[in-house]
Structure 1
Amino acid sequence: MRRFPILATLLVLIAVGTMIALGFWQIGRLHEKEALLAHYADARGPAEEVDWPRDARGQSDLLYRHARLDCVAVNGRSSIAGRNAKGESGAAQTADCTLADGTKALVVLGWSRLPMAGGWNGGEVHGVIAPGPRLVASPPLAGLDANAVPDPAEIPNNHFAYAVQWFVFAATALVIYGLAVRRRRTS
C-alpha cells in the first residue's frame, strides 16, 4: 500500500476551492447583471427626453433613455451591421458628430440594405441611447428606414450557467481525484 499523496491532495483542494469561489463570484455577477438590466428596463419607461450626456458615466447611467442632441458638424460617416424595425439585417448608417461644446457623439441615422446610403449634414437628433454609446435616431434621418429600437432584453445574462459550470468542474475534479487516489491505494 502506498503513502497518501498529501501535496497532490492539497493542490487539488486549492484548485477545487478556487473553482467553487469562481462559481460564487458568478452568482454575485448574476445579481449585479439582473440589477443592471432592471435599471435599463426602467430607463425605457420615461417618455421625456434627456440631453445627450457629455461624460462616460452619464452615458452609461442613461442607456436606453430617450435623448436629444444637436450635431453642429458631421466629422465622418460609416456603416455598421444592424437590423431594421422589421428585424431584417442590413447596414445601420452612422455619423460622427461634434456638438456645440466640442464633445463627440455617434449617431445612428437609420437603416439601409446598402452601406453608406443617405446623406446628412447634421442638425437636431432625437432617439434612444444605445450601448457604445450611440444615439439611435427615432425617427430615422436622411430618408433611411428605422433601425431596430435598442432593447436591454438583448443583453445576455449567462452568469448562472457559468456558476453551474464552475461547480460542475469542482465536483468533477473531486470525483476524478478520489478515483485516482482509490486506485493508487489498491494497486
Structure 2
Amino acid sequence: MRGRGVKRLPIISSLIVALAVGAMIYLGFWQLDRLDQKEALLETYAANFDKPPMAFPQLGPVADEAMFRKSSINCLRITDWQDSSGKASNGQSGFRYIANCVTSAEGPGVLVNMGVSNRPNLEIDWQGGVLTGWITEAPGESSLLDRLMGKDTAPGPMLVADKPMASLLAPASPSIEDIPNNHLAYAVQWFLFAGIALIIFLIALRAKNSSGTK
C-alpha cells in the first residue's frame, strides 16, 4: 500500500505571493503614517488663518507656516493674464483670472487670483495697485510623466485676492477642505489587496492539492 506523500508548498510561487502581500501591507502602514503627517499639516494650515499677515514669499515651494496666511503685494504692472477653471466665493463655477504682477525692477513676478467670471477671454483693464489676500500655491505645471519620473516641480506661491476686480466675482477663499486627505482609504485598499491576494493563493493551492490527490 502506497502512503500519501507530504504536500509541499510551491516554493517560487509562495515566495512571490509572500513578497507581494508583504509589500502591500507595508504600503498600507505607510499610508497610515502619511495620514498622521497630513492631519498635522492640516492643523498647521488651519492655525495659519488666525496668524498676522506676513511678507509674500517670492519663490516656491510655499512653506507650511506660510500657507493660507494673509499677505499683500504692490502690483506695479501686469505682464499678462491667464484664465483657468475656478470657483467664486458664492460657489459659482467659472473661469478664474490670474494676473502676473510685476512688484519690483528685478525678481520673479507674483501670480494673483483676481476673481472669477462665467466668461473666458475677458479684456481686463487694470493698471495695478496694492492687493491683499491669502497665500496659496500657484496652479501646478508639472506633467503626469514628470511626476512619475520623480521630476515634479514644487508649485510657487500665489495670492488669492480677498477683494475682486469690479468686473469679476470674488474668488473662493482658501480652505483646508480643498486639500485631499485620502490616506486612510488608500491604507484600507492596500490591506484589502493583501488579504484578497492571500485568499486567492490559498484557494489556488487547495485546488491544486485536491487535483493532485485524485
Q: Same fold (TM over 0.5)?
A: yes
**Paired-residue identity, %:** 40
CA deviations over 1:14-72 (Å, ceiling 9, x no partner): 010000001011111111111111111111122x3212112324555311111101122
What amino acid does structure 2 have at the position aligned with 1:40? Y
What SS does the corresponding residue of 1:56 show, helix, strand or coil?
coil
How far apart are 1:90 and its partner, in Å? Answer: 1.1
What residue number does 1:126 align with? 132
4+ runs of 1 displaced by more than 3 Å?
Answer: 57-61
Match of 1:55 among 56, 59, 68: 59
Does the alignment pair 1:116 with 2:121? yes
Q: Which of 80, 84, 103 is the equivalent residue of 1:80? A: 84
> What one-letter code is carried by the residue in structure 2 that aligns with 1:109?
M
The residue number in structure 2 matching 1:136 is 160
Aligned with 2:165: secondary structure?
coil
Decide which moves more: 55-64 or 128-137: 55-64
Aligned residues: 186
- Greater strand share, 1 or 2? 1
TM-score (norm. length: structure 2): 0.81
Greater shift after overlay, 160-169 or 92-101?
A: 92-101
- 1:180 partner SS: helix
User: For 1:58 and 1:91, how far apart are their aligned partners in 2?
Assistant: 24
RMSD: 1.7
Which is further off, 117-126 or 4-13?
A: 117-126
| Larger-gyration structure (1/2) | 2
Unaligned runs of 5+ in 2: 139-156
Q: Is the 8 A contact 1:109 1:142 kept in 2?
A: no
Deviations 1:72-130 (A, max 9, x none): 23110121111111101111111111221422211111121212333222221101112
**Which blocks of at least 5 consecutive residues in structure 1 are unaligned?**
none
User: Could you state the TM-score of these two structures normalised by the residue count of structure 1?
Assistant: 0.92
Query: Given the alignment, which residue of 53, 56, 70 partners 1:66?
Result: 70
Question: 1:186: Cα distance to partner?
Answer: 1.4
SS at match of 2:97: strand
More helix by share: 1
